[in-house]
């Protein structure tokens, strides 16, 4: 379940810059989302997001419709690609499952075959999150060598870029220069003119997506991507799906379980999302989650000699006040970066740079240094680099399609959080209460899908997957991106879920250095033994 891409803070369930994980050598992309909605008192604004949905995702018929038989019966032609040991192929799926004869979508697939020793257990499908993150890039750069050796020995490691993503007929919206302009749009408008400019930016982004991918844009939903996964499962020769999904990848995996409960094998959903929430609720949760992450960063920062937000004795609130004041200064007077394309660092790019470092505490030293250079020396280059890495903008000024695919999936999966600037203005006090530092910008960022050229096909719903084999849902207690409460909610919805809890910080848990977590997940993947009920690790 998702929300939207926007020109400042990262969208929920998008992958920030890839970087190695700590601990057992496992490396992975990190994904976004967030939680911790503050309790409301009688004096708070009356505008509140709608409650969670009660509708339940219905399973599809067990028998394969005859119109889909050619897709399920296709043979993949594998070829060597990327680093030694990797193979690639192209899978065909119907563009529209309601009208399979209306044309195909071609989906890129990659694998690294089981290396042995030990008997092969089948295929292990991976998705690192997003929506919009490249599963193939993740496999080739990280998982193909970074997953535990025994897992790689027994499974073919498999990845498929979902429709509209990276190598699978990618959605495109803006050229690189237009995207530069979009990412610098002011999302804390101070007057009618700035509000109109923001709305104009959202409209231009949406119109660009509609112009470049008019047919595909109607068929990039998570439900369709999950159905594509079932075709791949069958083509690979697996009776059941074995899968590890992180962040948005948990929504994709849970959706698969809801549609095909009888075909669920061993599913690990790490950094879980709650599919029952509205976009407005998710965006508010995201805002509070970023505030939670910033509070942790600030507590650590003020103990460090290079912290530009204050020294020992400075409270996290005071540190937040310093950062908010800096953002306001940038809003009025951007600072130089030395960027060859002439971009200065304004509030929008600076906010993205800060938030990009919130997903893993290993990025905190870099963020301290970046803020120090910007706040003390007036040099915005380091914060700009953080922002660029989040947006997947390379040194040549080219953007990958992460943000385009993110918006395309998000705006199709859920009705927009808000439809008009007036609705955002009414919600501002709630967002600012959730995060004094990020709330205003993230409230306005919630308006993006209001101008999308395609009507949403999804809605909030519960996923129960009655009859599925045991599914492991992993939650981290202080996850700044996918809150622990979401993991508890999804585990409560899924009929066969086992909740595995990591008492710690950071986004997701597998491969972050907890031997307890890694051992439990490895045992499940290799022997089919789920964690004991109520298992907690640190």
The string of pLDDT tens digits covering residues 33-74 is 222 222 222 232 333 444 556 799 999 999 999 999 999 999
Range 500-527 average pLDDT: 93
Average pLDDT score, the chain: 89
Phi, psi of 230 (to 5 degrees): -70, -35
Q: What strand order describes the sheet that includes 155-160?
A: 79-80, 86-94, 104-112, 155-160, 122-127, 241-246, 264-270, 471-478, 497-505, 536-537
Range 409-413 average pLDDT: 97
Return the pLDDT at 51: 52
Range 273-299 average pLDDT: 91
pLDDT, tens digit (0-9, with 9 covering 90-100), for 336-369: 999 999 999 999 999 999 999 988 888 999 999 9
Return the pLDDT at 142: 86
- Which CATH superfamily hosts domain 1-316+361-367+395-538? Alpha/Beta hydrolase fold, catalytic domain (3.40.50.1820)
Report residue 323's pLDDT band, with 50, 70 and 90 as the boundaries. Answer: very high
Range 190-210 average pLDDT: 97
Return the pLDDT at 65: 95
pLDDT, tens digit (0-9, with 9 covering 90-100), for 75-101: 999 999 988 899 999 999 999 999 999
Q: C-alpha distances in angstroms, 433 versus 21, 39, 64, 104, 517?
A: 32, 10, 50, 47, 34
- 477/483 Cα distance (integer angstroms): 7
Concatenated DSSP letters of 485-525: HHHHHHHHHSTTEEEEEEEEESS--TTSS-HHHHHHHHHHH
Return the pLDDT at 517: 97
Range 507-529 average pLDDT: 94
Considering only residues 440 and 484, tell me which one the structure prediction assigns the higher pLDDT: 440
The pTM for the full model equals: 0.90
Range 493-497 average pLDDT: 98
Report, as residue numbers or ranges, the catalytic residues.
247, 479, 507
Query: Who contacts 278 (Cβ-Cβ below 8 Å, separation ≥6)?
Result: 49, 50, 52, 53, 414, 415, 417, 460
Phi, psi of 319 (to 5 degrees): -65, -40
């Amino acid at each position: 379940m998702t929300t939207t891409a926007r020109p400042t803070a990262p969208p929920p369930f998008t992958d920030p810059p890839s970087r190695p994980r700590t601990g057992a050598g496992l490396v992975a992309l990190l994904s976004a989302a967030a939680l911790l909605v503050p309790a409301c008192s009688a004096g708070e604004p009356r505008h509140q997001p709608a409650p969670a949905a009660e509708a339940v995702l219905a399973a599809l018929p067990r028998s394969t419709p005859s119109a889909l038989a050619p897709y399920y019966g296709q043979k993949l032609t594998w070829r060597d690609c990327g680093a030694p040991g990797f193979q690639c192929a192209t899978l065909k799926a119907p563009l529209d499952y309601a009208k399979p004869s209306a044309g195909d979508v071609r989906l890129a697939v990659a694998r690294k075959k089981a290396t042995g020793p030990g008997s092969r257990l089948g295929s292990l499908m991976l998705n690192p999150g997003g929506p919009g993150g490249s599963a193939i890039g993740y496999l080739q750069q990280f998982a193909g060598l970074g997953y535990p050796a025994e897992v790689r020995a027994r499974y073919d490691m498999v990845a498929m870029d979902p429709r509209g993503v990276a190598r699978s007929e990618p959605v495109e919206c803006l050229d690189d220069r237009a995207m530069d302009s979009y990412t610098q749009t002011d999302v804390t408008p101070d007057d009618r003119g700035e509000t109109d400019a923001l709305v104009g930016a959202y409209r231009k982004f949406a119109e660009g997506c509609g112009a470049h991918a008019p047919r595909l844009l109607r068929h990039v939903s998570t439900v369709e991507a999950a159905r594509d996964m079932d075709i791949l499962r069958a083509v690979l020769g697996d009776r059941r799906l074995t899968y590890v999904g992180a962040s948005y990848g948990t929504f994709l995996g849970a959706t698969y379980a809801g549609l095909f409960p009888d075909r669920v094998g061993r599913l690990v959903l790490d950094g879980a999302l709650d599919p029952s929430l509205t976009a407005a609720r998710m965006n508010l949760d995201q805002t509070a989650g970023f505030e939670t992450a910033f509070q942790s960063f600030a507590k650590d920062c003020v103990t460090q000699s290079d912290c530009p937000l204050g020294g020992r004795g400075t409270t996290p609130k005071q540190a937040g006040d310093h950062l908010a004041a800096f953002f306001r200064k940038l809003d009025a007077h951007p600072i130089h970066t030395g960027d060859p394309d002439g971009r200065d660092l304004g509030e929008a790019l600076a906010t993205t740079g800060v938030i990009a470092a919130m997903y893993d505490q290993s990025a905190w030293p870099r963020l301290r240094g970046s803020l120090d250079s910007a706040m003390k020396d007036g040099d915005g280059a380091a914060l700009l680099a953080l922002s660029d890495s989040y947006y997947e903008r390379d040194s040549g000024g080219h953007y990958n399609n992460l943000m385009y695919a993110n918006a395309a999936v998000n705006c199709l999966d859920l009705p927009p959080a808000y439809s008009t600037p007036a609705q955002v203005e009414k919600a501002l006090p709630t967002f600012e209460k959730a995060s004094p530092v990020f709330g205003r910008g993230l409230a306005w960022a919630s308006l993006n899908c209001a101008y999308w050229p395609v009507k949403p096909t999804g809605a909030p719903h519960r996923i129960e997957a009655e009859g599925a084999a045991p599914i492991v849902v992993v939650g981290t207690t202080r996850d700044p991106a996918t809150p622990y409460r979401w993991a508890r909610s999804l585990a409560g919805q899924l009929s066969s879920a086992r909740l595995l809890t990591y008492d710690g910080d950071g986004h997701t848990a597998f491969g972050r250095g907890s031997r307890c977590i890694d051992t439990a997940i490895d045992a499940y993947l290799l022997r089919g033994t789920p964690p004991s009920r109520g298992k907690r690790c640190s």
